Structure 1
């Protein structure tokens, strides 16, 4: 789309990290924002920041796993605007545990947020986009969704998002739908620090992963920048930032070298 001004955008996971950075980047472009997150106080703070940039921003404090609350929010967006131009599925969680430490409950929790909530959100807004003959769905997956890391449940959920997204494009691309999968690499966000992820992990690797992200993680603003670029010029796969593009290229050309690099990073995250 040429301009984001006055475009209706629904963004999940908007209270911090990539979500917050993306909200502010879209606000600077004049979008009409509907921001979704669990933490009401932080979410309202982001809305204040967004409005200061001259756009409208409405907070929706809910857990994306709550299908009733999510459906009610979607109804409110449709009632207010009669359309939705962009859906950005950014909310996500992870567990910093080894495969054998990761419980059945952990697997269910991760997939409920990282995949099932994404599917539910798409089901809420896709019919409107199809009837409009235009719309963009951005699914924030991960570099771990195209080249695995040692967090099996997280990686599996993100692989599922990438595959589902490609299927969605194949099915509805001819009807005006644009689908973008954003695959961030190592980003310095709360996913292993202040969020529920670190608290739930209860693993020795948690603090080491925090240090790794602080040392090597790119700022979330770089991901937000690339999301905005992809909205202007949609393409299906968007690895971001540059190190993710490089690692994906290595993985495609020399898979074992990429695995060696991931193992080294994983060992450092494990404190090894």
Structure 2
């Protein structure tokens, strides 16, 4: 896929992987409609992207809002004329064992991580079908391949993104719209620090968990963004970001039930 003069919509573009993807696309001459619930973050990314001579707009958007997402394609078309690439990157994290996590927090995460992806896809698919060549790119996670304890909600949402993406790819086979699912490993973003935690969790336990999670987030976000954009250029159906994601994917394939016992031993070592 040639990215110059294309138009890409990116959610969660106010920082982290979303911002990195935006800058990698801008380097290739791709125009951008950047959405985030944090409008100031989206604006900062857009101003950075404009340094590469592309048209970049920023938009405040809550992907958990049905009405806001439904209206967003008209806003983007008014600014850019059309859309060639939709990148569903917006996401949140929620730690804690299933019995600790409230129903409200579980639903909050699913509304953003999964239903937000579905809403955006439903809203933009008719627009994408008007492009000569289009692609939907959905961000899952390494936790959309494996399911560690303490990640029941997050892993459920990312497995759902994976399943939705794969089924959608099969449904759209032979059309002008391709579908890519992305599984990042440990990418150095603020997601661990910003994760929502169960009410009443002991502060010492919370801090320990955050330190462990942050230590696993090693790959710079700009490197992850470049890997993802290269995968889009190559029309990849699946993109594994980082050696950790690649190793875990192989381990899960060969030991689909017992992989966690092997990983737990490796982590303790």
TM-score by length of 2: 0.91
Comparing 76-85 and 139-148, the one that deviates more? 76-85
Matches of residues 45-56 of structure 1 in structure 2 within 5 Å?
Answer: 45-56=44-55
Deviation of 1:51 (Å)? 1.1
Q: Is the 8 Å Cα contact of residues 188 and 213 (structure 1) preserved in structure 2? A: no
- Normalized per residue, the structure richer in helix is 1
**CA 1:44–1:265 in structure 2 vs 1: closer, same or farther (change >3 Å)?**
farther
Partner of 1:14: 13
Q: Which string of whole-angstrom CA distances, capped at 9 and with x for unpartnered residues, describes residues 43-98 of structure 1?
A: 21111111122222111012111122222221111233332100000001121111
Deviation of 1:206 (Å)? 3.8
What is the distance in 1 between the residues matched to 2:241 and 2:46?
A: 25
**CA 1:58–1:261 in structure 2 vs 1: closer, same or farther (change >3 Å)?**
farther
Q: Which string of whole-angstrom CA distances, capped at 9 and with x for unpartnered residues, describes residues 103-127 of structure 1?
A: 1111110110011111110011111
Comparing 71-80 and 241-250, the one that deviates more? 71-80
Q: Is the 8 Å Cα contact of residues 94 and 154 (structure 2) preserved in structure 1? A: yes
Partner of 2:201: 203
Matches of residues 171-186 of structure 1 in structure 2 within 5 Å?
Answer: 171-186=171-186
Unaligned ranges ≥5, structure 1: none
Q: Is the 8 Å Cα contact of residues 4 and 31 (structure 1) preserved in structure 2? A: yes
Secondary structure of the residue aligned to 1:191 is coil
TM-score by length of 1: 0.90
CA-based RMSD of the aligned residues comes to 2.2
Matches of residues 203-242 of structure 1 in structure 2 within 5 Å?
Answer: 203-204=201-202, 205-217=205-217, 218-242=219-243
What is the distance in 2 between the residues matched to 1:131 and 1:56?
A: 20
Deviation of 1:264 (Å)? 5.6
Q: Is the 8 Å Cα contact of residues 96 and 201 (structure 1) preserved in structure 2? A: no
Comparing 237-246 and 74-83, the one that deviates more? 74-83
Q: Is the 8 Å Cα contact of residues 183 and 238 (structure 1) preserved in structure 2? A: yes
Q: Is the 8 Å Cα contact of residues 222 and 240 (structure 1) preserved in structure 2? A: no
**CA 1:25–1:31 in structure 2 vs 1: closer, same or farther (change >3 Å)?**
same
Comparing 200-209 and 65-74, the one that deviates more? 200-209
Matches of residues 36-185 of structure 1 in structure 2 within 5 Å?
Answer: 36-150=35-149, 151-185=151-185
Deviation of 1:202 (Å)? 6.1
Comparing 210-219 and 90-99, the one that deviates more? 210-219
What is the distance in 1 between the residues matched to 2:68 and 2:89?
A: 17
Unaligned ranges ≥5, structure 2: none
**CA 1:258–1:199 in structure 2 vs 1: closer, same or farther (change >3 Å)?**
closer
Between the two proteins, the alignment pairs up a number of residues equal to: 265
